[in-house]
Amino acid sequence: MDTRIMFAGEGHGAVAALKSLQKKYARVEIISHDQEVLSLRREGDLILNAFSQGQSGYVVLAGYKKLIPPHELKMRVFINTHPSLLPAYRGFHSVVWAMLNMEKELGFTIHLVNEFLDDGDILHQYKINYNGQTSKEIMDAFDAFAEAELGSIVHEYISGNIQPVKQDKSKATWVGKRNLGDCIIDFSWECERLQMLFKALVKPYPLPRIVVGGKPYEVVASKIITDKHYFTHVGRVLNIDAEGVWIKTKDGFLTVTLLADPENGTVIPAAAVLKLGMRLV
């Protein structure tokens, strides 16, 4: 068994993955621009600039954003980590999209890489039930699993003890990368989905936002009211009282008490920005 493995990736998931691989392999060949990842380099590990510089025939990816070119796929076996229960939610920001779709079960997949997006055969899946966790709590659970188990799963696959399972493309769904514009609250959503938005968009990620006069504000403190389901203007400020600024949603209200300027982090009362009768779209 080769005691070397190659690794490429960025972010918190990459940190967890590299720590796990270092438990099983005496030498890891690392490709990363993430300083926290690079700080984990041991004396026997190597920092590389390209896959072609590596000696290992296997590469593990975590938080790696690019598709692997066909000529690289012919040279080595690539193994990827993906935060969804593939074949569902192939693509970017899969946890948030799964949450916004109110999935009752979430998961993390270790799979082989082919020329298509998150399409390769599955080696292992880790599943959790959704019980009100935030996206940060879910990602922490996935990182803990990866740090504890990824190295052993990769080692078992390379040893021939894990048989890959082909994905069922008929069950595949695809999702795209989210940006700050996707954090703007859509008041035409049902309260249930808005509640999930506030579970998904938590620190250290951008918070849900509203836009007033072309300027975005993060919603720091708020509450969703679900027992006022009646027809009137959606996205309009209809009341301001001691409970906050009341903004009508499709089937209730969002009451906002505190906002933050994302440029400087200054927290201000919502009533200092939002006025009675104002329309938010």
| pLDDT at 126 (0 to 100) | 98
Helical ranges in the chain per DSSP H: 12-24, 35-38, 70-73, 94-100, 135-158, 191-200
| Predicted local confidence at residue 174, as pLDDT | 98
Distance CA 182, CA 209 (A): 9
What number is the average pLDDT over the span 228-238? 96
Residue type (1 letter), 213: G
Read off the pLDDT of residues 184-209 as tens digits, 9 standing for 90 and up: 999 999 999 999 999 999 999 999 99
Give the pLDDT mean for 19-32: 98
Same fold, 4-175 and 180-272: no
- Could you tell me if 208 and 259 are in contact, meaning their C-beta atoms sit under 8 angstroms apart? no
What's the CATH code, domain 4-175?
A: 3.40.50.170
Domain segments of the chain: what residues?
4-175, 180-272
pTM exceeding the 0.85 threshold for the entire prediction: yes
pLDDT(1) > 60: no
Q: What is the mean pLDDT of the chain?
A: 97
Indicate the burial class of 278 (C-beta count within 10 angstroms; 0-12, 13-18, 19 or more): middle
| Per-residue model confidence as pLDDT tens digits over 49-93 | 999 999 999 999 999 999 999 999 999 999 999 999 999 999 999
Identify the pLDDT of residue 7. Answer: 98
pLDDT given at position 2: 75
Q: What is the rounded distance in angstroms from the CA atom of residue 60 to the CA atom of residue 212?
A: 45
Q: What is the pLDDT of residue 281?
A: 76
pLDDT at 3 (0 to 100): 87
The dotted CATH code for 180-272 is 3.10.25.10
What are the structure tokens assigned to 277, written together?
């009768």
- pLDDT digits over 94-145, tens only? 999 999 999 999 999 999 999 999 999 999 999 999 999 999 999 999 999 9
pLDDT at 119 (0 to 100): 98
- pLDDT tens for each residue of 137-188: 999 999 999 999 999 999 999 999 999 999 999 999 999 999 999 999 999 9
Q: How far is CA 20 from CA 8, 124, 152, in A?
A: 13, 15, 8
CA neighbor of 250 nearest in space, from 226, 270, 268: 226
